[in-house]
Amino acid sequence: MKTINELESKLSEPSDRLIEDLSKLDGDILILGVGGKMGPSLAKLVKRGIEAAGANAKVTGVSRFSSGDLRGELESAGIETIAADLLDEAALAKLPSARNVIYMAGNKFGTTGREYFTWAMNAYLPGRVAEKFPRSRIVAFSSGNIYPLTPIGSGGASEETPPAPIGEYAQSCLGRERVFEYFSRKNGTPLVNFRLNYAIDLRYGILLEIAKAVKEGTPIDVSMGQVNVIWQGDANEMAIRSLLLCDSPPVTLNITGPETVSVRWMAERFGELLGTVPQFTGTEQSTALLNNASHSHRLFGYPRVTLRQMMEWTAGWVEAGGDTLNKPTHFQERAGAF
């Protein structure tokens, strides 16, 4: 892949599994927070999947749409759009009802110094949304950050692992889940808490950060020595398919790839692909933020795009000087300060 159009096409390519599940889904789909990193490709993916399934559900994306041409891009793809600030009570009240809601709104980076805004977005707003859509299925994007750092030989935190969030961002993510759970139990709202670790798009993500550092000769911090990653298209597909799994009390799903991957190993492989020798700093610690997604793999099957394929695409993107979003993951952060 060499162009944004080719990348967007690949990210929004529905699988047979997705098409089959969308043929079983009733009602329209409303995507709240469609303007984030994953929202545009998710909206296009679900629209293409609905068309392939021969269904007639409407797909609507909600965002502030405060800059750029995303709104026109989505509408060109057949997705209806609504410009709204979800923290504005009047704007939230005006949103149309929908049988299916995918909740992608939230705040992470820039939390330090604006903790109040992060808590409003991540823990207050979910309650307002839950009251607005008490009869909808809701898939709520969450984060593996709600888990503690786990020993690197443990296989990672599974859904049975008690939450122990580090830092205010992670705490607010657990707050989002707890608030949604309260209203799910109160109103019988069917819901999935979708705990995602490190989606990969060639324009952002752990693989891009490591590949760029290797190419530029920047030392790579290996203190967080192991990570999990998943192709963004696969993560989005699992989110859409999760609509059929929503229940009350809520279902919790860990979402990531099947591997626990060494940061040092990835850098060395990128070195081979890019023809350079990676530089390192720090020492691998005995714990890392790791997510065991074996339960979701049992439900959905393994991701379609493999780790090696993601790495090859990323190396090619970096070599070609492809566009980036300039939104680092801060995957090295061990103290929870974002």
Does the pLDDT at position 113 exceed 90?
no
State residue 328's pLDDT score.
84
Structure confidence by residue, pLDDT tens digits, 13-27: 999 999 999 999 999
What is the token pair recorded at 317? 């993107």
State residue 1's pLDDT score.
80
Structure confidence by residue, pLDDT tens digits, 205-222: 999 999 999 999 999 999
Structure confidence by residue, pLDDT tens digits, 62-80: 999 987 899 999 999 999 9
Does the pLDDT at position 338 exceed 80?
no
Mean pLDDT of 92-119: 91
pLDDT band at 110 (very low <50, low <70, confident <90, very high): low
Structure confidence by residue, pLDDT tens digits, 1-50: 889 999 999 999 999 999 999 999 999 999 999 999 999 999 999 999 99
State residue 114's pLDDT score.
87
* Residue 38, amino acid: M
Query: Structural domain boundaries of the chain?
Result: 4-319
Mean pLDDT of 108-137: 92
Mean pLDDT of 181-189: 98
Residue of 221, 242, 276, 279 lying closest to 142 (CA atoms): 242
User: What is the b/e burial string over 250-282, where b = at least 16 CB atoms within 10 angstroms of the residue's CB?
Assistant: bbbbbbbbeebbbbbebbebbbebbeeebeeee
Percent of residues, the chain, with pLDDT higher than 90:
92
DSSP helix, strand, coil percent of the chain (3-state; round to 5): 40, 15, 40
Mean pLDDT of 234-249: 98
**Who has greater pLDDT, 112 or 269?**
269
pTM of the full predicted structure? 0.96
Percent of residues, the chain, with pLDDT higher than 70:
99
- Torsion over CA of 187, 189, 192 and 193, rounded to 10 degrees? -30
Just give the CATH number of 4-319: 3.40.50.720
State residue 109's pLDDT score.
67
Does the pLDDT at position 193 exceed 90?
yes
Pairing of strands 287-288, 150-151: antiparallel
Mean pLDDT of 268-289: 97
User: What is the b/e burial string over 307-334, where b = at least 16 CB atoms within 10 angstroms of the residue's CB?
Assistant: beebbebbbbbbeeebebeeeebebbbb
State residue 330's pLDDT score.
83
Mean pLDDT of 277-300: 97
State residue 334's pLDDT score.
80
